[in-house]
Chain A
Amino acid sequence: MSDQPVPGPGTDHLSRRTFLRAAGVTGAAALSPAVLRRRAEAQETPSPIRPDPAAKRGGTLRYGILSAAAHFDVHQSGTVANIGPQSPMYDLLIRRDPRNGQTIIPDLAWKWDISPDGKKYTFYLRKGVKFHDGADFTAEDVKATYERIVRPPKGVVIPRSSLFTTVGDIVVLDPYRIEFRLTEARPKAFMLGSFASGWNIIVRKKSLDDNQGNLRQVMNYPGTGPFKHVSRQDKEVWVMERNTNYWNKGLPYVDKLEIYNLPPFSPELGSSFLAGKIDYGRLLDPVSWRKAKQMPNVTAAAFNQSVIQAFWMNMKRKPLADPRVRRAIHLAMDRPTLVEVVKDTAPMQIGGFVYPFHEMSTPKEELVKRLGYQTDIKPAVQEARRLMQEAGYGQGIKGLDFVVRDIQTFKLWAVAIQAMLKEGINIECNLRTVQTSVWFDEAAAGNFDLAISAIVSSLMDPSDYFSAWYGANGPQNYSGWNNEQFQALAKQIERELDDTKRKAMVRKAEDILEQDPPLIPISYEQIYDAYYNKVKGQNPSTFFGIYDVCRWDNVWLAQS
């Protein structure tokens, strides 16, 4: 059933209505094109996600994911502990197609226009959409949502703000049309990707107004999404039910969603899945995943994730300020072994300074031929030693303070890295394991020489993390790194609208980073999903990360 704009309740178009009624249902359907043609400009098209007639309805989907978040404000969050459980209750302006996780398709905005100069993005919004509390969805809600994302109020910190730095005015043209006016053009893929990011859920203007623009302590602020909040037990389970008034008629299929809090790579998650206590498990550990793969009625999928595991070097410490020393450290890493060390703990893959699976970055087959990424580390270590000699540290460096986050993967890696540094280039460091909150204290205060952690980006597009991770004042530039050449290039990459030129620039930027490393990349995480075959409609193999496709609107259960 398509969302045809029909005369609203207030208008009195008796003749048309009678005519339509007289013509009968099929007649009305046949007449739709005529109606459409008459109102040429704003005819809503339905979502490309249509209900599958073969799909069965009903049932409860039991889903295991980390859902022990520190607060409830999805915009302010950067962890799956928020987006995982909360995403089913909200929609976006535009979204990634849940069938492949890549293509950008309409969501609350059924159409969008981009001006030829790339500075105006106009979104056409669906009519008749209701929030869970019954309120109407209008452009004012989109404006309020995005005003907060682009220009957060005091005390509110939103990691996606940096994606929208060139957004100037957000103008409500009419209740169902909204326009974003950029001060500077940006590559289309980048901007659209930013709007489609799963983090940018649309919330009610009233929710923001009532809570001073801060939703951290508000558990149930209304959304327009396919599921509604029912109940929640902290750190255990969040129960949601089907939104019978969902704008995408016919969806969702399942009646109830039970989201269980099961931490990533934990034995609880693995054993709960294998024992059949959940139907779908995300972020499984490799051992459970391999076991699940062998089960006859289970599908085990692996896909990419938008997280880099790395360690930083405090450039205020004299030896570490020298790029030759840093490159030596970079080359001394035996990356295949590092991936191997955690092979039973978490799934990882080799990568450099840019996502190895992004179309613009050096592809993996080329990467593994490069010094520092090879299986045989001897040539790399040789070069590393030469660099240390040249920089005047042929004797090595002693007493570096290596701060480690208290998580299994980092603890294992720290021990391995310590050994590699010692054997390769005679750098001795002392491991200091601290709780996560203490780690960030130390990192912010510069109380470290080396520090290991993981950081996230919203988009695969380099412009996102080139500023956040490598930008001169980037919030995750823990090393305090700067390279004029790189920053200039990054600015160009941001603005370049031609894809081929942009790709060449990204490669050049990579080369700069290889020679003057701002951090030492260890690996890139992979996501292991496993689900019983009764769960249909999900195909995560081509997903990028777990933040964009987690709404469960097109998933159904083969048996209730």
Chain B
Amino acid sequence: MRKYLARRALFALGTLVGVSLIIFVVLRVLPGDPLVAILGVEGHARMTPADRVRIMHDLGLSDPLPVQYVHWLRDIATGKLGKSFFRGDTVADLILHRGPISAEIGFLALVVSWLVGLPVGIVSAIKPNSWADNLARSAAILFIAIPGFWLGMLIVLGLLFWFGYKSPIIIVHFWQSPWENLQIVIGPAIVLGLAQGAYIARMSRSCLLEVIREDYVRTARAKGAQERHVVLGHALPNALLPVITISGVLLGFVLGGSVAVEQAFGVPGLGRSLVTALIERDIIVVQNLVLLYAAIFVVVNFAVDLSYAWLDPRIRYA
């Protein structure tokens, strides 16, 4: 098992390095002049070429590309996540302030997806093709098809139109005021959670159905065990494995989808910061945030690998 883990860890690291390389290259090709946003529209109009060269140099944008890349990696390794071009805010501050909100959303979405998806999947698998099963499958398919950001728009509009309700406008962390904090994160969490839950419901249903057909389950039934015990005691643990894996992948959906959903709900999370930074050509922020997202994905999947290694006896005792 240790060799397996070590190999996976090495691969994870390699993936991260590769990710950083790709981000770096892609962003340096960006068109659009970041100096417009920095100097403002008026200032930019009056800039001389000499000014431009000097400011680009100050921002570190005129070093040769490999040098910039190495500087960037070095900064990350030493924990300096860089500063936004603008205002001198550090990316670290940004992550520390907005990160918890996006993380909360991700966590709550996961909880919602399991709370909703698993029971629905189990019920479907126990009574396949019943009306409950059909209802569940239809609902799942529907929630996979509805674009999260559209659902978010509708919810926000509905709340405003019928209740005159507007969620808090600035970030309130959970430890500051739980109720306000929940108001901010609950919308995106539910939208993302339901979509994830739909996948989990389908996945757990098909996994369960398959395992239920397996011999050892037949044996358990033959022994006279009740259906429920058969499912819960034997089938479920085995079916959980793939569901855990898919949760890792779904994290990717959440990380990506959260960008659009955060925008729709007006939640000031990291996703929105990313979009704004991309539009403003704030390259350092974009670089580091995208790297962060990818890193989270890689790390979580590594954790999934770990849990696999532990749960799957074939690896554990290898």
Contact = CB atoms under 8 A, between A and B. Distances in A.
The answer to A–B direct touch (Cβ < 8 A) is: yes
B32 A438 contact: yes
A148 to B, nearest CB: 14
Given A78-B40, A154-B51, A475 B169 contact: no
B169 A260 contact: yes
A219 B46 contact: no
A268 B167 CA distance: 10
Interface stretch (B82-90, B104-112, B195-203, B206-214): B82-90
Most chain A CB neighbours (cut-off 10 Å) among B42, B46, B87, B279: B42
B171 A216 contact: no
A236 B268 contact: yes
A122 interface: no
Interface in B1-50: 31-34, 36-47, 50
Interface stretch (A67-75, A170-178, A396-404, A479-487): A67-75
Contacts of B88: 72, 216-219
Contacts of A18: none
A456 B42 contact: yes
Given A155-B54, A217-B87, A268-B169, A435 B45 contact: no
B32 A441 contact: yes
A414 interface: no
A230 to B, nearest CB: 14
Given A70-B86, A274-B164, A79 B41 contact: yes
A555 interface: no
B94 A234 contact: yes
Given A78-B42, A437-B280, A275 B166 contact: yes
Interface in B35-82: 36-47, 50-51, 54-55, 58
B37 A437 contact: yes
Nearest to A474: B45
Is chain B's interface secondary structure helix, strand, loop, or mixed overall? Answer: helix
Contacts of A476: 42, 45
Contacts of A69: 86-87
Interface in B119-175: 160, 164-166, 168-171
B54 A71 contact: no
Contact of A159 (B43, B85, B266, B276): B43
Nearest to A275: B166
A76 B40 CA distance: 8
B205 interface: no
Nearest to B31: A438
A72 B84 CA distance: 13
A271 interface: yes
B95 to A, nearest CB: 12
A15 interface: no
Most chain B CB neighbours (cut-off 10 Å) among A217, A236, A268, A437: A437
B45 to A, nearest CB: 4
B97 interface: yes
B36 A441 contact: yes
Contact of B165 (A157, A268, A275): A275
Contact of A76 (B33, B43, B50, B280): B43
A237 interface: yes
A233 B86 CA distance: 14
Contacts of A475: 42, 45-46
Contacts of A77: 40, 42-43
A436 interface: yes
Contact of A277 (B33, B58, B93, B169): B169
A440 B41 contact: yes
Contacts of A219: 87-88
A234 B41 contact: no
Given A272-B169, A440-B33, A70 B87 contact: yes
A262 interface: yes
Contacts of A277: 166, 168-169
A437 B39 CA distance: 11
B39 A234 contact: no
Contacts of A271: 160, 166
A495 to B, nearest CB: 24
Interface of A: 69-72, 76-79, 82, 154-155, 157-159, 216-219, 233-237, 260, 262, 267-268, 271-272, 274-275, 277-278, 434-438, 440-441, 444, 455-456, 475-476
The 4 A-B pairs at the shortest CB distance, nearest first, are namely: A78-B42, A217-B88, A159-B42, A275-B166
24 contacts: A69-B86, A70-B39, A71-B40, A71-B87, A72-B88, A77-B40, A77-B42, A154-B50, A154-B54, A157-B47, A159-B46, A217-B87, A234-B87, A236-B170, A268-B266, A274-B164, A275-B166, A435-B281, A436-B37, A436-B41, A437-B33, A438-B32, A456-B41, A475-B45
